Amino acid sequence: MPNATSAEIDTMRDLIDRALAEVDDGGKAGIAAAVMRGDAILSRGLNQVHLHHDPTRHAEIVAISAATRALSDPDLSGCTLLTTLQPCEMCLAAMRFAGISRVIYAAGRPDVVEDKYFAFPGLRIEDFDRADHKAFTAIGGVCADRITHVYANAAD
């Protein structure tokens, strides 16, 4: 199994710090994401679902959108998506539509992350890998010990 680079691990630590800063007393779980090309961070994003009353504004979507705007190009081939929570089905699809074939995440399923974060909890990331017609790499558990408790204990 491939590993995350030291720059990716540093970025994940920063994302986890940002996500933890977003957690509020009402049970809202902070989620943060970034898009990297090599060791360069192209964009970062925080979950904006409640901010914009838009169920599609997941942190991963926000980061992907910001990266495509920064590059003035919808093609993010060669980039890596990093996120504090294993991407849901919508975010995995957006990642692949953007040409991203590598994802690194901290907390994931089926470890301890609640099913409520997924529209189709019966699907696993391995199912997406098998269904993908191109190379797909998913690296999970990176710095998970720092954030998993947030997603495991979040209020409904």
Active-site residues: which are they? 60
Kindly report the three-state secondary structure assignment for every residue of the chain. CCCCCHHHHHHHHHHHHHHHHHCCCCCCCCCEEEEEECCEEEEEEECCHHHHCCCCCCHHHHHHHHHHHHHCCCCCCCCEEEEEECCCHHHHHHHHHCCCCEEEEEECCCCCCCHHHCCCCCCCHHHHHHHCCCCCEEECCCCHHHCHHHHHCCCC
d(CA 106, CA 48): 19
